[in-house]
Amino acid sequence: MAEHHRAFLYVLLLGLPALYVAARALSSLVDEQELKLWCGAWIISTAALFLTGSILLYTAAICVLSVYVHRVSKAPFLFYLILLLTAPAVGVNLGIPGLIGSIIELTPGRLFSLAFLLPSAIALRRGNNATALSGADKAFALFVIIVAVLSLRHGSPTHMLRACAVLLLDIMLPYYVFSRAPRTPEIIRWALAAIVFASLPFAMAGMFELLRGWRLYDSAILQWGVVLIQSYLFRDGMLRAAASSVEPISFGFACVVALGCLLAIRDRIKNVYLQMACFAVLCGGLVASLSRGPWLGAAVLLFVFVAARPKAVLTVAKAVTAASVVTVPVLLSPYGERIVRFLPFVGSVDTSNEDYRARLIDATFAIVGRNPLFGSTQYRFEPEMLAMIQGQGIIDVVNTYAAIALEYGLAGLIAFSLTMALAAAGLARLSFRSQSGSSTMVRAMLATLAAILLIIGTVSSVSVVPYIYWAFAGVSMAAARIKLDAGEATARPPVSPPLTVIGSLPISPFRR
């Protein structure tokens, strides 16, 4: 049996039970017919990935699925989240043989953006429900303008067109659709449930990779003709799980976001055992990443979730006491020493990674100091960066804030940070309203956003990372806009028209 067929069977054997648990857990939250569509879409995308052997055939399968989804689904834009973790987060350069070597870089995230978000965006623009621009929307628009205008510095109109296309697919569509399409608390919960649903089979695959030492999705990447610089990453002799996200930190990042979303909707999951099973799977996936950044993010998530409420001092004290009761016996056990070795700041495993990140920050301050306002496109050729070339011959800018500041200067960094800060401020205002009927959900969303902002300081915006945080920022703005404590409306978002356009374009503005 070919490796990609064997991998497909394992992905199904791991994913189908996870989908069953997810569907059972979310049945009290999401319509039964919608859950069936979610399950069917996941299976179709996964089968097409492993069995077609070509990204073009995979694209055709997603096109057909998109047309069907837009005809029958109540919220077709959510399939962007449902399918985001079903395919490897890599790009394939497509061109015209003998004429043009590369026209576009087709990635699953951009494909899903075109297939499921673009029709929803068109429907929103055609509707009569115009939404006033918030402060975060204005900061977001400023960030997009800065990135688009500064792309002219490359001296090629073609490059600017590609950069603008990437801005549209990777950033603008996720933020715009997810900040406008959810118009009721129910649809907000559906969006959070979609992230949980997609992450459960994803986390199961990651745990399998850790235990078996075998990357399940690498065979699919090889079929597409993509060669990874270093696909297998180990820490203390154990394979760091990545599944379809390709990178371990991105894998852990997705698990942390899913944990936050599960916290947000847990009061709507009636079966306690199913709720515990979902938490166990996602926590297992987080551990399997063997990534310190996501672990720190999970700690921040729990702290903010407990603290973001009126008179939270006593609650925080109780939470710290409970955590100590659980962790102290574990650390005193025979496994305690090995666990401590993996912990951030005090651990002794792969401390060179922490040193590299510290050097990156120093280099960023030096380079941005010479190009403070709008950064530089040639920052990789600065002496401080050349001194950081790794063994694979690359300079890995493992910090989203540093990557933005280096290429787009303080202007781009301030606009980006202001967008996220204003989105968080909108949730914070809601979370401290003690009478809010959705206070638990709002606190969990605020905590998740805080975790996101921490983790992206330890990883560049590659793989699924930017797709997730821009979509979640949009959902956060939607939650703040409709004021979740105002009541539980029952309206549904408009159904998008059938898909008529498909395609993708290249070059991420946050390449490593």
Residue 342 has pLDDT above 60, yes or no: no
- Tell whether pTM > 0.95: no
Q: How far apart are CA 37 and CA 101, in angstroms?
A: 38
Confidence of residue 504 (pLDDT cuts 50, 70, 90): very low
Q: How far apart are CA 373 and CA 259, in angstroms?
A: 37
Q: Taking a C-beta distance cutoff of 8 angstroms, is the pair 316, 306 a contact?
A: yes
Residue 101 has pLDDT above 70, yes or no: no
Model confidence pLDDT, tens digit, residues 52-63: 988 889 999 999
Residue 485 has pLDDT above 50, yes or no: no
Q: How far apart are CA 469 and CA 375, in angstroms?
A: 23
Alpha helices by DSSP H, listed for 269-397, are 272-288, 292-307, 313-332, 336-342, 351-370, 383-386
Q: How far apart are CA 374 and CA 228, in angstroms?
A: 32
Q: What is the pLDDT of residue 228?
A: 74
CA 485 to each of CA 11, 240, 432, 435: distance values in angstroms, whole numbers, following the listed order: 40, 41, 11, 8
Model confidence pLDDT, tens digit, residues 199-214: 999 999 999 999 999 9
